[in-house]
Structure 1
């Protein structure tokens, strides 16, 4: 590839499958149908001219509803399928893990299965031996590796298969719907692994229906619908588009009235068509750093507006830590703006006393008068679109979530 920073390049890829429409065991019937122009099958166009690039170090998310073509795309990237048109270029060694346990033999021991699966992933015996101890340690199965796999519980098999996949140190790791594996403690270990993988700059491609995982791990994402890319860019935006598409489909099931279909992102409407919170710093930070983010909203009417936001502690069950944005002081509403158009504010938030937790920023656009009781919410960003940030300190000291308010940058 010309650009040395590109790990995976998907270039105008298309893929179709032939689906039989009738079953016939007669050669005569088949020939007669062909002469009449009856094919006996239909072409299902699964992917239609898909193009995107994954840079080295990206944690790249691919989302879409069932049947959208995302798993087919992953199999093409993994060289299981060949595209009819276009090509996929991969820089370095790609490790693909599309289904847990594929290639495992229940009659072999856990150790033998590690070597068998490693060989299927393209590793030599020496390479597998070098990573074997790490695989066993991560799976927490050192006492069971000489037992046959058929004697493992389903949870043990999942842990071993997943450990082989993530410890096989390729240049690009491809995962398809495999994040929710094992018990709670093992999932926490997997979470730590993915956070560390992100920070270390290793390339990962993840296909998932879990929008929380997309926002937590990914720095870029695309959404596929009916075989085409319909959204790409920031994970929070792509996740919101995915949820909006699901809501739209629910609406279609309930009514045939096209006017009831969702045309705005959650929290926006005809009067407030835009509400966004965007991180201006990295989303994984430590206690010595400062989080900076921008709030942008748009109104189409000349009305007084302000914005209040909150920090949600996702780790301890969704508790709120409210940040006073200065819009309301002693029951008097001081609007950010009284004119229609786009309003933008930048905030910074010191993290000196934040705990090791996962957080989300949410907020609402308000209008009203100086009487607090007259406030009205006219737009919002909640957990379906709120950007996430993660505080990670080596000492793991617990303490108050916030000891200082954010302050406006002048």
Structure 2
């Protein structure tokens, strides 16, 4: 089958979920009114008593029948709110959510379970909450019990279950409920190792079923790459990457990498960020090409600076392999590299290109320093450097590359001499 025919086949699949221009906001209280009098006083003073939190903005995507669709993003990005909109728990402020089929939503495992009821009774209770009839629950009950491996305990009260047993039962109900669309929120790492293997086998099987659709929210990028065929990445309430699951997972890894470094940055409350001053108020590395590089095409980046002193100065560059905690390149103290000398004073940029063919897959960041020389032959003085917020972050992803070392086997050749 040709690629064009495959694309046509995909396009002809039924759309089971369509999210169009969806937005959702919440009111967060800022002033507490203990009574009607205080509320009137606040109103006369122009105090609204709340501020708007815009959780989702103009979200658009669709899910086809048979998709294993991943939704990823950092905590607070809007993922759980989106799932609640899809599940009908919330209504969107703008836009629409269209579901075509029976949707079974498990946003939190065990929600709706009653500790005073038996395991059997809780299965029927949860099934009823999901909209299944008594007869439909009868039909799926044995599958649920078999998967949970709790047949000996189904007539005991749930409060006598261990936490692991409760999770297994809840998860079994989640994945064995016979719906068309299964919505799961961070529920892959449940139970012991043997039970996790069973869950892994189940998802591998359901991925092959063209009639089953799964929407999965997870922080596990291994799960996204293994199970999903499509994914979206949400950041600050907006979709910033969508489509290929590997691309989305790699971008999420890069976002996490950059966010972690930014949270570690030292902020002393001064006027300028760490590493900068009145002498050099701007020094920043901007990635110009894709931040997820293919390891074949060179990486293009620029260094933005603001320097006005008359002293000769030059840019130093260091490349850090974050995964392996080693410097792949460091030209920070070289004064003989004339290509790094600053020729224009004021606010300007210098553009660079770096080949990536010698590197294995990994996550990298580019640091920059600005060093001034008072007199020829003297040691340079570092007067500015990029903190973690102003570094350039990128990842390399290529199937032909290895993962173990920094340098690819193509970069080093060892010849036998005897």
Normalising by the residue count of structure 2, what TM-score does the alignment of the two structures yield? 0.65
Matched residue of 1:259: which SS? strand
Could you tell me how far 1:67 is from its partner in structure 2? 0.4
Task: Tell me, in whole angstroms, the C-alpha distance in 2 between the residues paired with 1:117 and 1:227.
Answer: 31
1:18 equivalenced with 2:43 (yes/no): no
Q: Show the 5 A alignment for 1:61-100.
A: 61-100=70-109
- The corresponding residue for 1:259 is 284
Q: Report the counterpart of residue 36 of structure 1 in structure 2.
A: 45
User: Following TM superposition, by how much is the alpha carbon of 1:174 offset from its aligned partner in structure 2, in angstroms?
Assistant: 0.1
C-alpha distance in 1, partners of 2:113/2:27? 30
What is the Cα deviation at residue 73 of structure 1? 0.1
Secondary structure of 1:53's aligned partner: strand
Note the C-alpha offset of 1:4.
Answer: 6.2
Summarize the Cα distance change of 1:187–1:33 in structure 2 as closer, same or farther, 3 Å threshold: same
1:248 and 1:101 map into 2 onto residues whose CA distance is: 34
- Once the two structures are TM-superposed, the CA of residue 26 in structure 1 deviates from its matched residue by 2.9
Deviation at 1:3, TM superposition (A): 7.5
Tell me if the contact between 2:295 and 2:356 (Cα under 8 Å) persists in the aligned partners: no
1:243 and 1:71 map into 2 onto residues whose CA distance is 19
Gapped runs of 5+ residues in structure 2? 1-10, 266-272, 275-282, 301-351, 362-397
Computing the radius of gyration from Cα coordinates, the structure with the larger value is: 2
Deviation at 1:260, TM superposition (A): 5.8
Does residue 1:52 correspond to 2:61, yes or no? yes
Q: Which residue of 2 aligns with 1:175?
A: 184
Match of 2:155 in 1: 146
Is residue 2:209 matched to residue 1:193? no
Aligned residue for 2:153, secondary structure, equals: coil
Q: In the aligned structure 2, how far is the partner of 1:346 from the partner of 1:217? A: 18
Superimposed CA distance per residue, residues 341-391 of structure 1 (whole angstroms, 9 cap, x where no aligned partner): xxxx999xxxxxxxxxxxx9759667769x648xxxxxxxxxxxxxxxxxx
Count of matched residue pairs = 299
Please report how far the alpha carbon of residue 253 of structure 1 lies from its aligned counterpart in structure 2 after TM superposition: 2.3
1:119-166 CA deviation, whole Å, 9 max, x = no partner?
001100000000000000000011111111111111111111110110
Query: Per-residue displacement from partner, 1:166-212 (whole Å, max 9, x unpaired)?
Result: 00010000000110001100000000000000011210000011111
1:229-240, aligned counterparts within 5 Å?
Answer: 229-240=239-250
Higher mean Cα deviation, 260-269 or 77-86? 260-269
Rate the CA distance shift 1:306–1:150 in 2: closer, same or farther, 3 A.
Answer: closer
C-alpha distance 36-153 of structure 1, shift in aligned 2 (>3 A): same
Once the two structures are superposed, residues 205-239 of structure 1 have per-residue CA deviations (whole angstroms, 9 ceiling, x without a partner) of 00011111111110000000000000111111111
- Which position in structure 1 is the counterpart of 2:256? 246
Q: Name the structure 1 match of 2:222.
A: 212
- 2-side partners of 1:7 and 1:304: how far apart? 41
Secondary structure at 2:248's aligned position in 1? helix
**Contact 1:219/1:234 (8 A) holds in 2:** yes
- Alpha-carbon shift at residue 72 of structure 1 (Å): 0.2
Q: Residues 6-405 of structure 1: matches in 2 within 5 Å?
A: 6-201=15-210, 202-255=212-265, 256=273, 259=284, 265=291, 272-273=298-299, 372=414
Contact 2:359 2:411 in 1 (8 A): no
How big is each residue's C-alpha offset from its partner over 1:302-338, in whole Å with a ceiling of 9 and x where there is no partner?
A: x8967989xxxxxxxxxxxxxxxxxxxxxxxxxxxxx
Distance in 2 (alpha carbons) for counterparts of 1:214 and 1:228 = 19
- The answer to whether the Cα contact below 8 Å between 1:248 and 1:261 also exists between their aligned partners in 2 is no
Superposition RMSD in Å:
3.1
- 1:387-408 superposed Cα distances (whole Å, 9 cap, x missing partner): xxxxxxxxxxxxxxxxxxxxxx
Distance 1:40 1:270, change over 3 A: farther
- Sort the Cα spacing of 1:234 and 1:129 in 2 relative to 1 into closer, same or farther, 3 A: same
Shift of 1:28: 1.9
Which SS does the other structure have where 2:152 is aligned?
Answer: coil
Cα distance in 2 between the residues matched to 1:304 and 1:124: 59
Q: Deviations over 1:80-137 (max 9, x none)?
A: 1111111100111000001011000111111010000000011000000000000000
- Decide whether aligned partners of structure 1 residues 147 and 262 sit closer, same or farther in structure 2, where only a CA change above 3 A counts: farther
- 1:251/1:260 contact within 8 Å kept: no
Q: Give how far 1:261 is off.
A: 7.7
